[in-house]
Chains A and B, each alone.
Chain A
């Protein structure tokens, strides 16, 4: 399966990265990672985190830098390049433990024509 994972600077992105890497190794998926800056983390930091994680497990994966409009750009890549699934983080937890979905998640859920997976 051809999977596109969107990774930003939030904790939920970090979790989505870990889970998707595990699944990729098990299922032998074809993974591409789109990185973008968010939650106060610049894109270079996010990219470094992703590279490090992929090196740990020795996965050769294409990383795409998404400099602006991450939500619409992720959808465009997924739809125009034949991806089966678009994976993003499943929301941040508030101090109370409430799940909060940000504007990127909302845009992807409402607009994507491909299957979206929210990773918890």
Chain B
């Protein structure tokens, strides 16, 4: 597998999101750092549309969801979007020992997609990552997933390699 690469240029200063805001559908959304609400996340992933799965995650079976979410939350950095007391979006950074970097992913429940929540989540997460001193972040995304790719490009990710099924993108934080 080819070695991971990162842009030379760093990306910095992400807008700190408001505690609460109205999304494009007029719903009041709150975005916060994860604080032990794993059950709410399990419920969110139980409600996740199987159509929206990518590269085998999230799992569909509840026991597998629990195992997966525990592993993701263990050493990662997580932010959650809330609406009416329910988790409706989740963005996460999971450490990658290979090159001391972090892998990023965003998940938004189907009825909440297309309302700007993904962008808010990823900006909040990158701001938190910067505050924690994290420097290198990468992700993989399916090539057909143009809405996700444009969110990632908007916040500063660059495409890195083209020798596999998935598109790889990375960024270096200030």
Contact = CB atoms under 8 A, between A and B. Distances in A.
B159 interface: no
Contacts of B55: 94, 98-100
Given A39-B1, A100-B55, A100-B140, A94 B164 contact: no
Contact of B165 (A38, A95, A96, A106): A106
Interface string A86-106: 000000111111111111011
A95 B72 CA distance: 8
Interface string A102-120: 1101100000000000000
A94 B1 contact: no
Nearest to A40: B1
Contact of B103 (A38, A39, A95, A101): A95
A56 to B, nearest CB: 28
B111 interface: no
A99 B56 contact: yes
A94 B1 CA distance: 12
B66 to A, nearest CB: 13
A38 B71 CA distance: 27
Contacts of A101: 164-166
B163 A97 contact: no
Interface of B: 1, 54-57, 68, 71-72, 92, 94-97, 103, 105, 140, 163-166
Interface of A: 38-39, 92-103, 105-106
Given A95-B94, A95-B96, A95-B97, 8 more contacts: A93-B56, A94-B103, A95-B95, A95-B103, A96-B92, A98-B54, A98-B57, A100-B55
28 contacts: A39-B1, A93-B56, A94-B55, A94-B103, A95-B94, A95-B95, A95-B96, A95-B97, A96-B94, A96-B105, A97-B57, A97-B68, A97-B72, A98-B54, A98-B56, A98-B57, A98-B103, A98-B105, A98-B166, A99-B55, A99-B56, A100-B55, A100-B140, A100-B165, A100-B166, A101-B165, A102-B164, A103-B163
